[in-house]
A and B are shown apart, each in its own frame.
Chain A
Amino acid sequence: MCTMSACRNLLLSVMLCFIASSTAMASDTLARIASQIEKYSVVHADFVQTKHMAALKRPLVTTGRLTFSRSHGVLWQIEQPYRMSYVLGEERIVEIGSDGVRRERGLREVPGLAQVGRVFRALLGANTSALQEYFDLAIKGDASKWELELKPRQAQIAQFLTVMRLDGARFVEGITISEPGGDSIQIRLRNAQGASVPSEAELQLFGSDAAVSAKP
């Protein structure tokens, strides 16, 4: 119910890889972007995240690696300035500290988090009607250079984010999320590469979630 902040972040992580797989979208551009990415079941990319927050003297920059796997979920590995990983699965979210300790939370237990999973699955299943339940989509450009704007349709979500912008070419390259309070988050992605399976190390980090979310 109340966690569109979570929704927002997961959404972007997913979208940056898979917005384009929503082949059913009316837009030809989206269909073409989709076909560019769809052939990969796993996508790797380096990220630079910049958080602009009122409480911070200067923007907070973190860098790391992102892995999206169709069957495992999203792996968000922060490398600088502090090592920490997050696994965003279909059923749960796992935080892995620098010491390797896993802190798990079920999506069902947290109000609204299941919606995250819902959006997640909608994207995964290229279910545009489900996506459009939550957002108004607007697209600019063509498959070689595009920009997508998502505005929440529901007041519920609008409490937490005003707008999300995605841009990219072959893959998603940038995401900007604006919050009502003025804080914003920017993510740039580089060196995006498709693969067919996650690496051994990544599989290990996906851990028990691998079994749970290995649903088509």
Chain B
Amino acid sequence: MNAMRWRALLWLALAVVIAIGGTVQFSGQIPLQTNLLALLPPTERNPLAEQAVGKLADAAGNRIVFLIGHPSSGTAGNAARRFASLLREADAFRQVVAEIPPFDQKQLTGLYRNFRFNLLSESDRVEFSAGPGRIEERLQRKLFTPIRLGLTLPLAEDPLGLSDAWLAELPLKSLKLDAENGLLVTRDRGKLWAFVSADLPGSAYDSDIQRRITAAVAEAVRMLLKEYPETEVLRVGSVFYAGAARASAEKEVDLIGTGSLIGMLLLLYLVFRSLRPLALGVLSVGFGIAAAVVVTVWVYGELHLIALVFGASLIGEAIDYAIQYFAAQLGAGAAWEPMAGLRRIAPGLIVALTTSMLGYGALMLAPFPALSQIALFALVGLGAAWLTVFLLLPWLLKQPSRRDPEAAVAIPQRFLVWWQANASQRICLVITAILLCCAMPGWIQLTGNDDVRLLVSRPPALLAQEEKIRELTGFGNSSQFFLVEGATPDVVLANEERLAASLALLSARGDISGFQSVSVFVPSEARQRQNRALWSDRVFADEAGLRKMFAQAGLRDEIADRLIGEFKASSASVLRLEDWLQSPVSLPFRYLWLGRVDTGFASVVLPQGIRDVTHFETIASGVPGITFVDKAGSVSHLFRAYRQWGALWLIAAVALVYGVLCLRYGLRQALVVLMPTALAMVLSLGIFGYLAIPLTLFNLMGLMLVLGVGVNYSIFLCEGGVRAAATLAGVLLSAGTTLLSFGLLAFSSMPALAGFGLTLLLGIGIAVMLAPMVLVFSERESA
């Protein structure tokens, strides 16, 4: 057995391990993660805030909301009921709700009646704190009003309307939906929209659930439209976005994978005119990608679709090692000896792998799951493809190439010779100056974009439905909230009340339209005692006066007696959080209460109708127990920090690369080698400016790779010279496949990946075009 055989066997063993690993982990279906949150780094200093973000996102994410619209209001209701039953028949949901039980005001008044002497509306509390308050006028208002506004207690129980005022302040109706005929409905331009909600049996990011739900909904809509032709169905739910993201990612993987594979095979065939390099190239790339998937899933337990789409574009890079080997075979001609050939290109391949490893390794250190997963995927994929070249290819590529190296690169070589003959150093400098002048105005127009939505592709059709549902129902769109903590539930409520005082100011300024909090429904014990003291001072201090006033107004005598008696009897009663939590009244608001946490207890205060968040941070800062959480905002901050930091890092990297080049080529020639890539980078930036494409973190990542890959072409040209046709074939093939893969990535529906791909397409494209400049300035060539 010779060394080649042993190496091949070693590779086979590795392949078997990967195959077994893959089979054990997943059968057929790759466990794809489609949840955006899973991609994002923990941004909150308060770990509880991350938990709260997750909890709220889950609560909202595992529910689908439908609006069933029809011009005839009766038909809309029937259609909504029919739609709900169709969904129920599909048996894909945990629960489908269309009919809501009639709001029983007795539940609400029943809960609060016994504690009414502990409760006062905000304005009454302020008025009673300042002075006696016009008690008699309140009685008259209660008596004479032609309209009872909202929830009310009977005249006998609340003659002054103070409890009515408190009930009226409850933010019961935050949505623009009304209960009618047992449905929740809203009206818009002659159409009635009925509300149907459906709860998923599991996570919206579970692929099985996505498939079942999407199919069930599509079928239900189809049946509904058959029975009620004019009906319109709007939907919103994470499951649709996640499902669409998965579908488009899978489509993109197919497109990018197939596209770069076919293009790569075509290029390989054009150059080598033999099927063997094709097969071996696919083998090395295939092994690389397979190993990458298996190892990434092994480490992370799943593969995020952003990593998968990126992975598909890795084909163009992973093929490079095999290409170098084929190029060596091409160059050696009849004298080909597989192991000698490998030894000759080994230093170059090792350097190439090392630089890639370093580049992606740095990416892995970023505290950002999306980036580190991409990095791990790339490291393993490139490493495995590289190993295939070292272990397996020598054994499979024993025959010398029959192709004439000169013929293989005849056309590009002629182009290079022409470059060398016609382009003087002066012309090159003029071209450089012109390009710089053209690019500069573009730089000025560069803007940044750090939106978290760069990471998601949101189909416009779904987005439009979501917008419409928001408009019709008034659903909030907020990932911004206050986290309130405290040692006991009552401390949490007291902290909420301090926050509420600040939020009331913002509300008055119009920054927000209101807010939802637990303490609005259950005041803290201290606040309840304060309210009771005000009742005592302003209402019950003068019992005789109260009796007289009631008598004059025509109220029966026993009413004053009963009221006074009830007030005295209730001196020890306090409305507890548990009372509220156990009442069906709290059902729509229970998610605000997070319950027991590591630090004690916690709740969420949700601002509504947010127009200006500038003061949120100020409100929260310095108040113990209150944290402002803005997940989207913090991620954007992080993106911006990375982008700004990345720009500096890029400059440093350019300097570093220049330093390394100087070691090999000296000060002047190193500058010449770096120049095409540096120009490519600044021109790309200029083009982004002209096209008004905002610069993102992912463009900078792309530029980093442009630097790493682009310089290689200059180096190879410089090293091999124009006459080393086989080297040139390798360089051009590498560039071609890389451009193809990343070029296809530019068409991704995920803005982050598209930006990344576009940057590489532009940068590497320009770097390759300008690379022949090296030959013009090259001392070795001119010598």
A168 located at the interface, meaning its Cβ lies under 8 Å from any Cβ of chain B in the complex? no
Docked pose: A5 CA to B146 CA in angstroms = 9
Pairs across A and B, CB under 8 Å, 12 listed:
A1-B105, A5-B147, A9-B146, A9-B148, A49-B146, A86-B145, A86-B147, A97-B141, A110-B173, A115-B180, A154-B102, A159-B104
Contact: B105 with A159, CB < 8 Å?
A: yes
A56 located at the interface, meaning its Cβ lies under 8 Å from any Cβ of chain B in the complex? yes
Residues of A within 8 A of B555 (CB): 55-57
Contact: B149 with A97, CB < 8 Å?
A: no
Identify which of residues 99-125 in chain B touch chain A, using a CB-to-CB cut-off of 8 Å.
102-105, 108
Contact of B137 among A57, A97, A111, A113 (CB under 8 A): A97
A62 located at the interface, meaning its Cβ lies under 8 Å from any Cβ of chain B in the complex? yes
B274 located at the interface, meaning its Cβ lies under 8 Å from any Cβ of chain A in the complex? no
* Residue of B with least CB distance to A153: B181
Interface residues of B (CB under 8 A from A): 72-74, 102-105, 108, 137, 140-141, 143-152, 154-156, 159, 168, 172-173, 176, 178-182, 187, 554-556, 559
Residues of A within 8 A of B179 (CB): 1, 111-112, 156
Residues of B within 8 A of A2 (CB): 103, 105, 108, 150-151
Docked pose: A76 CA to B144 CA in angstroms = 11
Task: Give the Cβ gap from B253 to chain A, nearest Cβ, in Å.
Answer: 47
A200 located at the interface, meaning its Cβ lies under 8 Å from any Cβ of chain B in the complex? no
10 A-B pairs closest in CB distance: A1-B103, A2-B105, A55-B156, A5-B148, A110-B150, A55-B155, A111-B173, A156-B102, A9-B147, A1-B179
A88 located at the interface, meaning its Cβ lies under 8 Å from any Cβ of chain B in the complex? yes
Residues of A within 8 A of B556 (CB): 55-57
Docked pose: A137 CA to B538 CA in angstroms = 48
Contact: A130 with B73, CB < 8 Å?
A: yes
A129-B73, A155-B102 known; A108+B176 contact, CB < 8 A: yes
Task: Give the Cβ gap from B137 to chain A, nearest Cβ, in Å.
Answer: 7
A3-B149, A130-B73 known; A56+B140 contact, CB < 8 A: no
A102 located at the interface, meaning its Cβ lies under 8 Å from any Cβ of chain B in the complex? no
Contact: B140 with A1, CB < 8 Å?
A: no
Contact: B173 with A108, CB < 8 Å?
A: yes
* A133-162 Cβ-contact flags toward B at 8 Å (1 or 0): 100000000000000000001111001000
A32 located at the interface, meaning its Cβ lies under 8 Å from any Cβ of chain B in the complex? no
Which of A2, A3, A6, A154 lies at the interface centre, i.e. has the most chain B CB atoms within 10 A of its CB?
A: A2
Task: Give the Cβ gap from A161 to chain B, nearest Cβ, in Å.
Answer: 11
Contact: A95 with B145, CB < 8 Å?
A: yes
* Residue of B with least CB distance to A112: B178
Task: Give the Cβ gap from B644 to chain A, nearest Cβ, in Å.
Answer: 44
Docked pose: A109 CA to B72 CA in angstroms = 26
Residues of B within 8 A of A53 (CB): 155
Identify which of residues 79-112 in chain A touch chain B, using a CB-to-CB cut-off of 8 Å.
82, 84, 86, 88, 93, 95, 97, 105, 108-112
* Residue of B with least CB distance to A185: B146
Contact: B144 with A78, CB < 8 Å?
A: yes
Contact of B140 among A5, A82, A154 (CB under 8 A): A82
Residues of B within 8 A of A195 (CB): none
A29 located at the interface, meaning its Cβ lies under 8 Å from any Cβ of chain B in the complex? no
Residues of B within 8 A of A114 (CB): 176, 178
Task: Give the Cβ gap from B498 to chain A, nearest Cβ, in Å.
Answer: 24
* A45-86 Cβ-contact flags toward B at 8 Å (1 or 0): 000010101111110101000000000000010100010101
Contact: A84 with B147, CB < 8 Å?
A: no
Contact: B144 with A82, CB < 8 Å?
A: yes
Docked pose: A181 CA to B106 CA in angstroms = 13
A184 located at the interface, meaning its Cβ lies under 8 Å from any Cβ of chain B in the complex? no
Residues of B within 8 A of A165 (CB): none
Residues of B within 8 A of A86 (CB): 145-147
Docked pose: A118 CA to B176 CA in angstroms = 13
Contact: A10 with B147, CB < 8 Å?
A: yes
Residues of B within 8 A of A129 (CB): 72-74
Residues of A within 8 A of B149 (CB): 3, 6, 93, 105, 110, 113
Residues of B within 8 A of A108 (CB): 173, 176
* Residue of A with least CB distance to B72: A129
* Residue of A with least CB distance to B143: A60
Contact: B152 with A5, CB < 8 Å?
A: yes
Residues of B within 8 A of A93 (CB): 147, 149
Contact of A56 among B148, B150, B173, B554 (CB under 8 A): B554
